[in-house]
Structure 1
Amino acid sequence: MDLWLLPFLSLAGIAAGWLNVMAGGGSMISVLTMVFLGIPGPLANGTFRVAIVVQNITAVTSFRRRGFSDFRLSFSLAMAASAGAIGGAMIGVNLSGPWFNRVLGAVMILVLILMATGGNGQASAQDDDQPSPARNLVAGHLLMIVAGIWGGFIQIGVGFLLMPILSRVMGIDLVRVNMHKVFIVLVYTCSALAVFASQSQVLWSAGLALALGHAVGAWLGVRSSVLVGDVLIKRVFMLAIIALVIKLIFFS
């Protein structure tokens, strides 16, 4: 793609990284931007994994510096998710362009519903700061495999799966839900990225431009305690998603 377009990807990545760390669904901004810049959907699906890796390295480091880390549990959950992610990525690389666009459109409709109903389990830094022991470890790890399949396949909206598993099934307080989430996504995305790269479905220049923005957004997201103007942000975001859904489903 033209070099002059790369700064636009970095700007989009800032918003995407911030939303991904705070709740989820921010990756739609990255994919939306790449699709409207002319990058085919399947190639965009592989490319933005570069940004997800960098974003979550930044987020994990930032959480640790603020005293939030439990690498033993995070790593075991991440290994379960990685097992599913490899299979999901193999499905993703074999999905043709028009079918990928339709699946992406359906996913975005689902995410719109979750956003509209408040089903994202959003956490902020002002939630309960007291650690709570995780429960239902077996169920949590099994569900991580399922979430990993989805994350490896399309990644978008995986936060809406991970956060309920961690908070509602495993009983982890919401601040540490985000702490675990970014570590899990980091590890399994490395596995998925390897699959996409092996099939030449990664545009590295675009991925690195996105990664720069995602890193900044993740840094801001970890430090954000309150979503400023979140109602307006969600409305504009949802309108953009609706426009992309119409394009993907009816004009692919």
Structure 2
Amino acid sequence: MLLSEVLINIGLGLCLGTIGGLFGIGGGLVAIPMLGLLFGLDQHLAQGTALVMVVPNVMLALWRYHQRNRLNWRWAGVLALAGFCWALLGASVATSLSNSLMRYLFVGFLVLLILYNGWRLYRPLALAAQGAQTPGTRQLALLGSVAGLAGGLFGVGGAVVATPVLTSVFGLSQVLAQGLALAMALPSTAVTLVTFAAHGQVDWGMGLALSCGGLLSISWGVRMAHAVPDRLLRLLFCGFLLACSAGLLLQ
């Protein structure tokens, strides 16, 4: 890999790390369509390469979120264990599917997230005014399972599924939900990366360069997340998902 290519990848990692810290997702969700659009990587290789950046980004972002909002590690442990088991299954399925099918499934997944997050923004006031609920172990295990399966299948860690559910169903704040989602995503992204790597679907040189940029900038995103009003952060998240969907459809 040429030095210019390394610098470009580090610069891209800087942008993705900031986005990952802002939304608590590690940056993989936007990295996947960008790697396809800008570098011509197929869907499997884009997902596997993005995970090289996502895993260390999630680790650092989780630490930063925990510094600012102490996490409930019992809740995080239940989410993480369930997510890990189902991410392993999802990643195994993903590596056996065709690239075109994976791309269409990924776009469909993003569209569902957009619809759900849009509904959360404009749902009736009676629902929005409900108080926080204490999530039970079974509820957390179910959420971790669904999020882990989606994370393993699409290489996004499952945080994009867990975060909106934690805010809308259990009434957690956006930043607290993002921190718990990161704790759940860490083991699931790690096992997904190992699975993709075992099938030769990772560009390690590009992924490591992206990772270097991401680690330098993800703390900025976390600081921004705590400075932005909760509703605005949710609105930005919806816009972010919409942009990712459009990018994949254009690929």
TM-score, normalised on structure 1? Answer: 0.78
Letter in 1 for 2:109: V
In structure 2, C-alpha distance between the alignment counterparts of 1:192 and 1:143, rounded to whole Å: 18
Change in Cα spacing, 1:69 to 1:89, as seen in structure 2 (3 Å) is: same
In structure 1, C-alpha distance between the alignment counterparts of 2:220 and 2:109, rounded to whole Å: 26
In structure 2, C-alpha distance between the alignment counterparts of 1:233 and 1:133, rounded to whole Å: 23
Change in Cα spacing, 1:165 to 1:28, as seen in structure 2 (3 Å) is: closer
> Quick check: 1:32 aligned with 2:24?
no
1:104 to 103, 106, 119: 106
Determine if contact 1:55/1:218 at 8 Å carries over to the other structure: yes
> Quick check: 1:160 aligned with 2:164?
no
In structure 2, C-alpha distance between the alignment counterparts of 1:102 and 1:82, rounded to whole Å: 24
Aligned to 1:75, the other structure's residue is in SS state helix
Deviation, structure 1 residue 138: 1.1
Determine if contact 2:114/2:242 at 8 Å carries over to the other structure: yes
Determine if contact 1:24/1:158 at 8 Å carries over to the other structure: no
**Greater helix percent: which structure?**
2
The match for 2:179 is 179
In structure 2, C-alpha distance between the alignment counterparts of 1:71 and 1:44, rounded to whole Å: 32
Query: Unpaired runs of 5+ in structure 1?
Result: 122-131, 248-252
Change in Cα spacing, 1:169 to 1:135, as seen in structure 2 (3 Å) is: same
Change in Cα spacing, 1:168 to 1:241, as seen in structure 2 (3 Å) is: closer
> Quick check: 1:242 aligned with 2:242?
no
Change in Cα spacing, 1:22 to 1:118, as seen in structure 2 (3 Å) is: farther
Change in Cα spacing, 1:238 to 1:77, as seen in structure 2 (3 Å) is: closer
In structure 2, C-alpha distance between the alignment counterparts of 1:236 and 1:78, rounded to whole Å: 25
What does 1:42-57 correspond to in 2, within 5 Å?
A: 42-57=44-59
Determine if contact 1:42/1:97 at 8 Å carries over to the other structure: yes
In structure 1, C-alpha distance between the alignment counterparts of 2:142 and 2:201, rounded to whole Å: 29
What does 1:83-94 correspond to in 2, within 5 Å?
A: 83-94=85-96
1:104-151: CA deviation from partner (whole Å, max 9, x where unpaired): 333344445456x27489xxxxxxxxxx78323311211210110000
Deviation, structure 1 residue 185: 0.9
The match for 2:83 is 81
Deviation, structure 1 residue 238: 4.4
The match for 1:125 is none
What does 1:104-183 correspond to in 2, within 5 Å?
A: 104-113=106-115, 117=118, 119=120, 134-156=134-156, 158-183=158-183
Aligned to 1:201, the other structure's residue is in SS state coil
The match for 2:188 is 188
Aligned to 2:18, the other structure's residue is in SS state helix
Number of residue pairs aligned between Structure 1 and Structure 2? 236
When structure 1 is superposed on structure 2, of 200-209 and 223-232 the one drifting more is: 223-232
Determine if contact 1:12/1:29 at 8 Å carries over to the other structure: no
Deviation, structure 1 residue 90: 0.4
When structure 1 is superposed on structure 2, of 8-17 and 40-49 the one drifting more is: 8-17
Change in Cα spacing, 1:242 to 1:143, as seen in structure 2 (3 Å) is: same
Change in Cα spacing, 1:43 to 1:71, as seen in structure 2 (3 Å) is: same
1:95 to 94, 97, 108: 97
TM-score, normalised on structure 2? Answer: 0.78
Change in Cα spacing, 1:65 to 1:156, as seen in structure 2 (3 Å) is: closer
The match for 1:250 is none
Change in Cα spacing, 1:174 to 1:112, as seen in structure 2 (3 Å) is: closer
Aligned to 2:201, the other structure's residue is in SS state coil
Change in Cα spacing, 1:95 to 1:173, as seen in structure 2 (3 Å) is: same
Deviation, structure 1 residue 205: 0.9
Determine if contact 2:78/2:137 at 8 Å carries over to the other structure: no
When structure 1 is superposed on structure 2, of 192-201 and 156-165 the one drifting more is: 156-165
